[in-house]
Amino acid sequence: MSDKPIAVVTGGAGFIGSHMVDLLLDRGYRVRVIDDLSGGREANLAHHSQNPDLTYCWSDIRSLNAGDPSFAECRYVFHFAGIGDIVPSIERPIDYMDINVQGTVRVLECARAANVRKLVYAASSSCYGLAATPTGEDHPIAPQYPYALSKYVGEQAVFHWGEVYRLPVNSICIFNAYGPRVRTTGAYGAVFGVFFRQKLAGKPFTVVGDGSQRRDFIYVTDVANAFLAAAETDGVGERFNVGAGAPQTVNRLVELLGGDVVYLPKRPGEPDCTFADIGKITKSLGWRPEVPFEQGVQHMIQQIDHWKDAPLWDQASIARATKTWFEYLGDRSAKGAG
């Protein structure tokens, strides 16, 4: 029997989760992936198909129960499983609260029963809302839509299990992660998936507003390293912001990709800038981002064929997909007037 330590990665066939699997296997772990493939893809792990240290459980986290064998003798749990995107969360809030909150509670109970050494939760910077920048971990919480709320409530459950049941937990609050395997689902969302498919098709990039909005893009391998650092530290009960600490404009991304642009109306509920204050994680865990933005984008361009089957968005289809967004997140003050 192998004496290698065991780690569970929920959502391990997804974008960030699959890179977490890569890192753990490289560091000598046996890895158990739990994923229902609703957002993840088996292809994201295909390069490990012959690796005996990787096993799979293709199931919904809401079906997990304390004592689940996937968690037996597990050292660390990395919890990425959940559903994302703004518009679907406005249209299906019950699903988001069910999966991102109740699903998280199921994972917590499995981790508690297995006496794991640490659980690290994937939180979202969207919990900060239209935040002041740079944004520290103590920034007021102001979710603008159900996805953001569900991720925040899930995080609160994680910390609650840490306090009540003494489950060792930490949380990584991810800003704008990008890199190879960034998702290509049917929902309109992540800018990289949208732009890369448009580039492959020779279509113009659909830029929201004037493109001057800045995002704290953080390369996915840097994110995975932050999660491992948060697991291996002795500290518990902490939230760490993870970004590059160097926001880039959408126009800069377009410049690196090269191509024509069409401009779309600015959307409500979206910040003009996301900017992580990463002082806490650099001081506490010694973690620092290592991949510059230009280098990260170049890595993705070299694998651009990954996006050949992604949805191709244009002005009309985006307008249809974001109609609910404008309806519910528009002039909230007007809705309350009269």
How far apart CA 259 and CA 74 sit, in angstroms, is: 48
Give CA separation, 19 vs 25, 44, 316, in Å. 10, 9, 34
Residues 6+ apart with CB under 8 A from 120: 76, 77, 78, 79, 169, 170, 171, 172, 227, 230, 231
Annotated active-site positions, please? 147
Task: Output the DSSP codes for 125-156.
Answer: GGGG-S--SSBPTTSPP---SHHHHHHHHHHH
Name residue 51's amino acid: N
Q: Which helix (H) or strand (E) holds 206?
A: strand 205-208
Measured at the alpha carbon of residue 40, what is the angle toward residues 137 and 215, in degrees to the nearest 5?
Answer: 35
Q: What is the DSSP letter of 303?
A: T
Host H or E run for residue 308: none
The answer to whether the CB of 91 falls within 8 A of the CB of 21 is no
| Residue 210, CA atoms < 13 Å, CB-side half-sphere | 2
Interhelix angle 250-257/293-301, rounded to 10 degrees, is 40
> Which string of DSSP letters, residue by residue, matches 9-68?
EETTTSHHHHHHHHHHHHTT-EEEEE--SSS--GGGGGGGTT-TTEEEE-S-GGG--TT-
Residue 68 CB-density burial (10 A; 0-12 exposed, 13-18 middle, 19+ buried): buried
